[in-house]
A = this chain, B = another copy of it.
């Protein structure tokens, strides 16, 4: 049990105050630490063993979006709900403590760092959502997810007082080739999927760059997760 692995998030001087609230846990292989969409009130540092973080689609396709080895942290400051299922891949020992105590400690310090940290935490989550897409989704689901992402961004920026609008028009910021690079597809496959979604009535293409989504809920049903 080396120095780096024992709740090493905190510098020496502050460690004691967290250590008081921390305790070491031993988990058998297969033990579930958190499930996708459920609260997780702990932050933990892996001392020994391997922990896997997974996301999955409704129909059971699974993607491991991260592995935590010794000295890696698991848990998510500033968010109550876990976006992944967290499970011991091997027998694991880890050192865990309450999330709120940890957040409080962070907040006592600079706001700038906290802001940046939150941004990066969101980026990690977003990158892992994309890993599920790249690892497990079909071409149709990938394109639908991409359009939906832009549609939701558009809807949020409009900020309608009264609920979400059900139809949106979006401007694609990328070429077909770039969309392919983002989705792990070729530009031809992207183009074919746009055509299919148009034939299905999910999209209207005003021109190659402007996409009208008449029913966002319909699109949501195609993203596959």
Contact = CB atoms under 8 A, between A and B. Distances in A.
Contact of A90 (B105, B119, B173): B173
Q: How many chain copies does the complex carry?
A: 2
Interface string A91-119: 00000000000000110111111111101
Contact of A106 (B50, B112, B123): B112
A161 to B, nearest CB: 18
A77 interface: yes
A135 interface: yes
A128 B127 CA distance: 7
Contacts of A90: 173
Contacts of A10: 111-112, 115
A27 interface: no
Interface stretch (A31-39, A57-65, A196-204, A213-221): A57-65
A120 interface: yes
